[in-house]
Amino acid sequence: MNAIAEHLRASSNQEAVPTSLFGLPNDTPHERVLLVSDEPTGMQTILAVHSTARGPAFGGCRFWDYSDHASALTDALRLSQGMSLKNALADLPFGGGKAVILKPKGEFDRTQLFAAFGRAVQSLGGAYITAEDVGTTTADMRVVQSQTTNVSGIPRDGAFGGDPSPKTAWGVFVSIRMGVREHLKRHSLEGVRVAIQGLGAVGWHLAKHLHDVGARLTVADIDTDKLERARAEFGATVVGVNEILAVSCDVLAPCALGAAIHAGTVPKLQCKIIAGAANNQLATPADGDALHAMGVLYLPDYLVNAGGIISVAREFRGEGAESSVMTEVTRIEDRVFELLARVNKGEGTPARVADAWALSKLVRTE
Ligand code: NAI
């Protein structure tokens, strides 16, 4: 049992936390995992509610072509656990959850499919609130909204809201700025070399922020159109998807999918800082230890990429205006500063200090 599971056991009112049939090996048990198959639409989803200790489980919905059911389940479980830590560290009154929809192999009606997903979300009676993640759009969330109110990430009339990606990108940007200031002792991002893996919804906005302040970009994506645009608009250097992690740079920003940092890639890294949007960047906790030993500053993904959930959580609660959301997202840099202060005091590696910090906030309040 790892530290997260131990903490949950200690903070539970029960004698012991039952081992979950759906739990990851040696990892935290989930409160609830729901598998729904809707034959008429071909929709298959896994809704993972990791923790409702702080409130309803809140986390996005991933729509992905999984190679098999087991990898979809693993993805849902890892992502939902990460949401518990992310929401806790961001001081949000929400627990952690996530949904994955397995992309059908053949033809399908997207509207009908997301309507079926909305019914699955509704069946959890508010224990889980969904929003966008990789492969889903605001249009999909509008369809989900036709079946349940437990959805966010939808532009609201006359108010802020909608696509969380720009907020996520801003949070990553301010984190990079703080990491560069504290770790590299550089007070400007001008001339700082940043390698971005993935120019999607978040990666693109991040590239723009960095370009605007004079950073030098190297980028990789599987979508060649995005690469051409980045070359034209940002003067970015383009490299292959198998090269980006080994690029010599000041900052590596993983903004594609998870587990980019593993035993096979760690020895090849030539960066000084890792800070990006992708969830679950470290394949294992040992990879965080290895980075620390190499002198690479790893800023934990769930700390720096919380801008999107801060935005959709506020939207869901109907709180505040766009400017106040941005102010709250900008506070992520203060948390990065505090994390580095704790690391410098010798509390542990950034990844382990962040885990312990998030866990200390993952408590049932009623
Ligand atoms: P996206 O789907 O818009 O972008 C992902 C990009 O990565 C795409 O352009 C894709 O072509 C590219 N890509 C895929 N495989 C690649 C590879 N092997 N090498 C290089 N590029 C590759 O997704 P989005 O929304 O930008 O999210 C990126 C990451 O950030 C995901 O891990 C997501 O879970 C995470 N995240 C996103 C948030 C958001 O607000 N959208 C919030 C928090 C985390």
Per-residue confidence band for 27, with pLDDT thresholds at 50, 70 and 90 = low
Centre of ligand 1 from the C-alpha of residue 19, in Å: 32
Q: Coil, strand or helix: which one is 73? A: helix
Centre of ligand 1 from the C-alpha of residue 220, in Å: 12
Establish whether residue 198 lines the binding site of ligand 1, counting it when its CB lies within 6 angstroms of any ligand atom.
yes
| Residue 243 DSSP one-character state | T
CA distances from 119 to 44, 156, 248 (A): 12, 21, 47
Please compute the mean of the pLDDT values over residues 208-218 and round it to a whole number: 98
- For residue 81, the tally of other CB atoms under 10 A from its CB is 26
Q: What is the pLDDT of residue 362?
A: 86
Q: Could you tell me if 279 and 82 are in contact, meaning their C-beta atoms sit under 8 angstroms apart?
A: yes
Centre of ligand 1 from the C-alpha of residue 219, in Å: 13
Nearest CA to ligand 1 atom 35: 278
Question: Is the pLDDT score of 17 beyond 70?
Answer: no
Burial of 104 (0-12, 13-18, 19+ CB in 10 A): middle
Mutate to test the pocket of ligand 1, among 173, 175, 221 (most ligand atoms within 8 A of CB): 221
Of the ranges 87-91, 223-227, 282-286, which one carries the lowest mean pLDDT score?
282-286
Q: Could you tell me if 249 and 271 are in contact, meaning their C-beta atoms sit under 8 angstroms apart?
A: yes
Q: What is the pLDDT of residue 25?
A: 54
Mutate to test the pocket of ligand 1, among 79, 165, 325 (most ligand atoms within 8 A of CB): 165
Longest dimension (CA), the chain: 60
Give the Cα separation of 269 and 246 in Å (integer): 5
| Residue 229 DSSP one-character state | H
Q: Any idea how long the chain is?
A: 366
Type of residue at 143: V
Catalytic residue status for 98: yes
Prediction pTM value: 0.90
Query: Of the residues 86, 98, 167, 272, which is catalytic?
Result: 98
Burial of 79 (0-12, 13-18, 19+ CB in 10 A): buried
Give the Cα separation of 244 and 268 in Å (integer): 10
Q: What is the pLDDT of residue 310?
A: 94
What is the residue-wise DSSP string for 1-19?
--HHHHHHHHH-SSSSPPP
Q: What is the pLDDT of residue 366?
A: 57
Give the Cα separation of 94 and 80 in Å (integer): 12
Per-residue confidence band for 155, with pLDDT thresholds at 50, 70 and 90 = confident
Please compute the mean of the pLDDT values over residues 229-233 and round it to a whole number: 98
Mutate to test the pocket of ligand 1, among 168, 172, 238 (most ligand atoms within 8 A of CB): 168
Buried b (16+ CB within 10 A) or exposed e, 323-336: eebbebbeebbebb
Please compute the mean of the pLDDT values over residues 122-151 and round it to a whole number: 96
Establish whether residue 222 lines the binding site of ligand 1, counting it when its CB lies within 6 angstroms of any ligand atom.
yes
